[in-house]
Amino acid sequence: MANDNPTSSDQVIPAAGNPAPYLQNRELSWLDFNERVLEQGADESVPLLQRLNFISIFWSNLQEFFMVRVGSLTDLSLVKKHIVDSKSNMTPSEQLRAIYLRCHELYPAYERTFEQVRLLLNKVGVTHVRPDELTDEQRSYLAEYAEANVTPFLSPQIINARHPFPHLENGALYIVVRLDEEADKAQDQAKSEHKKKDKKGKKSKGKPAKESTKNASLSQNVGAEGTMLGLIPLPRQCARVVKLPGDGFSFILLEHVVEMVAEQVFSMYTVKHTNVICVTRNADIDATESTDENDEDYREHMKRILKKRARLAPVRLESERELSDTLEPLLLDRLNLKKHQVFTTSVPLDLSFTWGLASHLSEKQCAALMYPPFTPQWPACLDRKRPIMEQVTAGGDVLLSYPYESMDPFVQLLREASRDPRVISIKITLYRLASQSHLAEALIDAAENGKEVTALFELRARFDESNNIEWSQRFEQAGCNVIYGFRDYKVHSKICCITRQTDDGIQHITQLGTGNYNEKTAKLYTDLSLITTSPTIGRDATEFFRNMALENVSDNYDVLWVAPLQVKPLILKNIDHQIELARRGEPCGLFFKTNSVTDKEIIDKIAEASQAGVKTVMLVRGISCLVPGVEGYTENVRVVSIVGRMLEHSRIYGFGPRTNMKIYLASADLMTRNMDKRVEIAWPVLDEKLRDRILSYIDVSLSDTAKLRELLPNRRYTPLGFFAQVSPEGKTIRFDSQVHFMDEARLKARMSTEVEVEREVEKREAAAVATNVAPSAGTATPATSEAATVPPEAMSATNSAAPADAASGSPSADATGTSEPALEPDAIEPAEEVTTTAILPHIEQPPHKPSLLVRALAAAIRFSNRRK
């Protein structure tokens, strides 16, 4: 690899060829996304502990990026044939150089952000103590603590000619101990002298017992020859966060406690210095590699693959402090790494501990340092006192919006189906399940109750393989029909079909979702879930599961789009139709909400549409290989992103102007892997009310002025709060769309509860009149209950935001009128070079009565798509 230690972006040499100016490299775009996550950690409007969690998300995201994307590129760089990235024309080696360079730019910002938050937390009594900050009392406490709770679990190792360099586990922390060579020589000499004395001692009789004991002790503490290095793996049995005595909550991390006792552990040597290191290994492994499905159970094959992954080649080495001139080359040689693959940071090398800090704090402290708690609400469109199946089969389609509305109604539907004598079968695809899953338990109950339950498990869901293997075994033991999908395609669709025998014949209840059947992530990821009794969709669903059982890739569907044969071709066909409309001068437009857009064919088609005059808006949380606003190519395309408290995860495709836009929901991002290498589903929203609800959802999301940022032609994003409004009094007012949806869900739930109470009161009154009995004194009339009022938080002029989760789950912030963090001068182009049109210029909203929540908030918040 040429230039193993790049120091400036000028050294990233583009490959031969001229990539289109509206395309950018996928990996570099992803690193920009992760930088936006890190910037949430610097956002002063986010509560402090949530800021720390955002930094932890940045860390875990980057860890997975190195394991998967860098690992994959490393493998490709070793292939002799010429391979280039279709968007940037960069070879794998060129991409790797650019990635390592970009990461070396991100690490200092990562350090600064973490240290800033650490010091601010220290001021409010959540004190992360480093070894050089310990008081004498704390040192004394830790000495006793380590002796009782840490030292017994340590497994130290030495490295010399007789003890080769050990395998360092992926992502595990190690204390590396540099032993003094000169001291080693002195100890060799001491050892020799002890042997001589020993011989003399044997000859002389009547030697004092005291001296003999002393010599024995010395000989026991003489280490092995030629030892320069020691390693101590961080023990898994010990608590990572060690609470310290003193006021407030002070803690030190386990790795620093182990460092403090390293001299005792290696007492037979002279310890020169210690450090904490962590190796990241390639985890990108082909699950279909060397498998013969006729000879080996697929689950056993996947278990073997997981073991193999743990020993793949390293791609990154991290250390807490600079490695010495002796230690660095030794580690690089043993790990087969280059100098530019080493990253030094004072940030703890494993930030997973941050998610447990709240458990050490009081309720009052948590309230000050975390988002106000939010619980997904029961959807107002469903009566929780009536069977869900009865409501679904009697009414129209039901659309659930996670995490603002709860997944519980769908889980309840499965529970009811498991007991309903008319239910014949339940079929479902399972990509990621929670480790504790009520949904899975309902399916198992159904099988045990004699229902035919078919569960398609995708055992190759990355990093969820073990969990899926365990669940598939439980399903099989319960009598479910477990299938594993395709050899060459991951099944990423989210579809469930309940088949019932009714008086009118066979009925299908079909559920289609943009996200996984995971109750944990459903509280953190924004997703849409449709439950419908449409006979057409039901027939397509049964056909889908028939094809899955036969491992048949098919396009024989009436309304569903199923990848790999249909989704991309039909997206391209619908874009072509908008191009035709534009050329005829008729209303047209495109909208896409997706996690990432990387597919070159789709990007090229959107660029073609832009040149034809089709206005296109793309709400892309993560990677965008499409660069908008490039003169002559993508002037009519705008790309915006929301990184907030909730992880934006729903996929929405829109074709046409707002007045008659065709809306499709999907499980697929606009990525080549989703379009060509996975079984995905997209489906139309046929119910007009639900279509209007989704359009309203889009409108509110694009009205965000707190978290929404725009990708500019220079490939940079506008800073946080760029679209915020300034009141006549000079106060910055930010509108957080995710907070709005939480408030709206709460308000609708309260109003729904009030309606239910009123109905109950009316029933009682009617029954009392019928029996000539007056209502009891205890019967309340809810005329002025709090359910009828606007929630106090909704009436605040400053929207407060909410809680988050890992890797992928991201947090969000208040819209409090605070000033934005300082940015580098070149972080954004001058404002006058940015267009100031509305986010959705082609979607003209028709006159309509504002929603109840919008009216309630009108006194405090005014929506506006225009930039101040």
Confidence of residue 403 (pLDDT cuts 50, 70, 90): very high
pLDDT at 468 over 70: yes
pLDDT at 529 over 50: yes
- Give Cβ neighbours of residue 569 (< 8 Å, ≥ 6 apart): none
Beta carbons of 725 and 731 less than 8 angstroms apart: no
Q: Which residues of 843-867 are buried (b: 16+ CB within 10 A; e: fewer)?
A: beeeeeeeeebeebbeeebebebeb
pLDDT at 725 over 60: yes
pLDDT of residue 92: 92
Q: How wide is the angle at C-alpha 366 spanned by C-alphas 365 and 372, nearest 5°?
A: 130
Beta carbons of 271 and 261 less than 8 angstroms apart: no
Residue, of 852 and 566, whose pLDDT is higher: 566
3-state SS track over 293-358: CCCCCHHHHHHHHHHHHCCCCEEEEEECCCCCCCHHHHHHHHHCCCHHHEEECCCCCCCHHHHHHH
Q: Which of 372-376, 486-490, 799-803 has the lowest mean pLDDT?
A: 799-803
Mean pLDDT of 810-831: 31
pLDDT of residue 470: 81
Confidence of residue 311 (pLDDT cuts 50, 70, 90): low
pLDDT of residue 204: 47
* Best-predicted range by mean pLDDT (505-509, 548-552, 801-805): 505-509
Alpha-carbon gap, residue 315 to 320, rounded angstroms? 17
pLDDT at 865 over 50: no
Alpha-carbon gap, residue 809 to 648, rounded angstroms? 8
pLDDT of residue 194: 53
DSSP state of 477: H
Ordered DSSP codes for 173-236: EEEEEEEPHHHHHHHHHHHHHHHHHHHHHHHSSS--HHHHHHHHHHHHT---TT--EEEEEPPT
- Calculate what percentage of the chain has a pLDDT beyond 90: 64
Mean pLDDT of 573-585: 98
The SS3 assignment for 119 reads helix
As a whole number of Å, the CA-based R_g of the chain is 31
* Best-predicted range by mean pLDDT (350-364, 449-463, 723-737): 350-364
Which residue type does 625 have?
C
User: What value does the mean pLDDT of the chain take?
Assistant: 82
pLDDT at 344 over 70: yes
| Residue found by looking up tokens 């309903």 in the block | 420
Residue 827 burial (CB < 10 Å; 0-12/13-18/19+)? Answer: exposed
pLDDT at 535 over 70: yes
pLDDT at 109 over 50: yes
pLDDT of residue 196: 57
Residue 778 burial (CB < 10 Å; 0-12/13-18/19+)? Answer: exposed
| CA pseudo-torsion sign 568, 574, 576, 579 | negative
Mean pLDDT of 769-795: 44
Residue, of 506 and 293, whose pLDDT is higher: 506
Tell me if the bond preceding 713 is cis, omega within 30° of 0.
Answer: no
- Residues that are catalytic: 492
pLDDT of residue 190: 54
pLDDT at 830 over 90: no
Residue, of 35 and 808, whose pLDDT is higher: 35
Beta carbons of 358 and 385 less than 8 angstroms apart: no
